[in-house]
Chains A and B, each alone.
Chain A
C-alpha cells in the first residue's frame, strides 16, 4: 500500500514539474497589447480669441495576435477626448501573412503607405511634434487608411534596400452638396468603409534606401481611382489621382555631436472638375466651379545631442517644422496656409517624451473660416508608447 502511495506521489510530482515546465514554455501563439497615449496642456489663439485647456489626452491600444511565425492579426483603436467629447476611432484591423522572404500580404483595414507620415510617424510617441502637419488628418488631402488588400515587401539590390507596396482598396468617396457638410463639396472622403460605386482604388509606394547604413530613404507613392461619386449620381465617374514624394534622413553625425532626423513629404491631389451647386441659404443656390487640385508639403528637422557627456543634455531634442496646404481657389474649403513650429522635447525614456512646442499657422480660408487666418499655439504634451 505504501509503495502504491509512493508511486502515486512520485507520479503527481513528476506531472506537476512537467506541467510547471510547460507553463513557462512559450507557445507559438502569442497575444500582446501595445499602443500609445498622450496628455497635455494647450493654449491656442485663433484670430485673437484664446482657448486654453488641459488636454484630456488619447489612448490608442494596439492588439497583436501572432498566430504563427508567418500569420498575424493587428488592430488599433483610438480613444480621444476632443472638445469635451469622447471620440472613438477604428484605425486599422488587418490580417498579415508572410508569403515568402520578399512578399507579405495584408487584408482588412490597414494604414496606407501613401508617403510615410500616416503609416509610420503619426503615433504621439513617434511624432516629434504634438500636431500633424497641414494636409494630414481631418480635412487632409492624403489618405490615412483603407479597406482592401495589399502586397508588400522588401529586398536587397546591391547595397541598397528596396521596399514596395501595391494595394487595392474600396477607394475614397466624394463629399457633395447633398452631404453632411455641403461646404466641403469636392473633397475626398477617405473614411469610405464600403465601396460606394463598384470601383476600387489602386495604389502603391516604392521606397529606396540607397546606402548600406539605411540612413536615407526616398519614396514615391500613387493612389488612383476612376470613380469617386456614389453610383447613379452625377459625380460617379469623376476620377481622382494622387501622388506623394517622401524623404527621410536619420544619422548620428559625430562631428556635430548628435543625431539629425530630417523628414519630408509632398502630397498632390487632383480630382476631375465639376460644378457643385450649394444651397447658401434656404432657396438661394450658388454654383461653385473650381479646379479641384490640392497640394501639401511638410519638412521637419530635429537634432538630439546624443553624444553629449551630460545625461540631461543627451535627452533633449530640438525640432522645427514647416508645412503648407493649398486647396482649390473658389471651393467651399479653399485654404492657403503655412505652418511654422518650433519645439523642445525631453526624452524620459526611449518611448516617453515631453514636448514643449510653439506653433504658428497663418494664411487664408480653411474649415469654417472666411478670410484671414492666424493661429498661435503653445503646446505641452506628454506622450508614451507601451
Chain B
C-alpha cells in the first residue's frame, strides 16, 4: 500500500501527470455519476423531434442532436462505453500478450521464435487496418469492437514482456532463484513478473488512450455499437450532415475523446518517470 502512495505522491508533483490524473478521474466520475450529472438522463433512448438541433442553452448545456436528445447527457453515458471498451480491450490484450511474452522470453527454442514472429506480423500492419477487417467481418456491435481491438493490440504487450524477460534472464536474482530449484512457473510469475510490472503498467496506460482513439475511429466509420448507443465516434459521424450550423453537435464528443486520450497519455508518461528511475534523465529530455 505504501508503494502505491509513493507513486501517487510522486505523480502529483509532476504537473502534466497530475493533469492526466485529473482528466481520468473526471472521465470516471462522468461515467459512474452519469445518471446524476445528466440533465436529461432519459435522452439516451428517448427522442424529442420538436427540440432537434437546438444550440447550447441553460436547458441543454451542449445543445441537442438530430433526434432532439440532449448532447451533454448522451456524452456522459458515452463515457461508460469508452471506459468499458478501453478496460476490456486492454485487459484482454494483457491476458493474451503477457503470457505469450513470458513463455517466448523464458524458453530459447523455436516456440519463442514462432510466437515472436506471429506478433511481429500483427505489428507489421497498422492496428486500425486489421481492426477494420475484423470488425467488418463480425458485424458492428460493442463486443465485436472490443474483440477486434484486443486481437490487434496484444502483440505490443507480448513484445514488451519478451524484451524485459530476456534482459532479466542474466540478473543475479533470477539465476539464483533458478539455482535454488524454483519451477519455471514460480520463477516467472512470482519473481520476474513483479519486477517487470512497471513497463507493463505504463504501456497499459498509453494503450488505453490508443485503444480509445481506435475505437472512436471504428465508431466513426460505422463499425461501432449501433444506435441508439451514445458512442462518441458515431455521434461525430452523425453530426456531419448538420454542419456548419449545429457546430456544438460535432465539437462536444470530439473534445471528450481528446481530453480522455490526453489524460491516459499524460498519465502514462508520468508513470514512466515515476516508476522507472533508470530512464528518468532520458525522459526529462524527451519531455
- Decide if A and B are genuine partners: no
Give residues in A with beta carbon < 8 Å to B: none
- Show the binding face of B for A, using Cβ within 8 Å: none
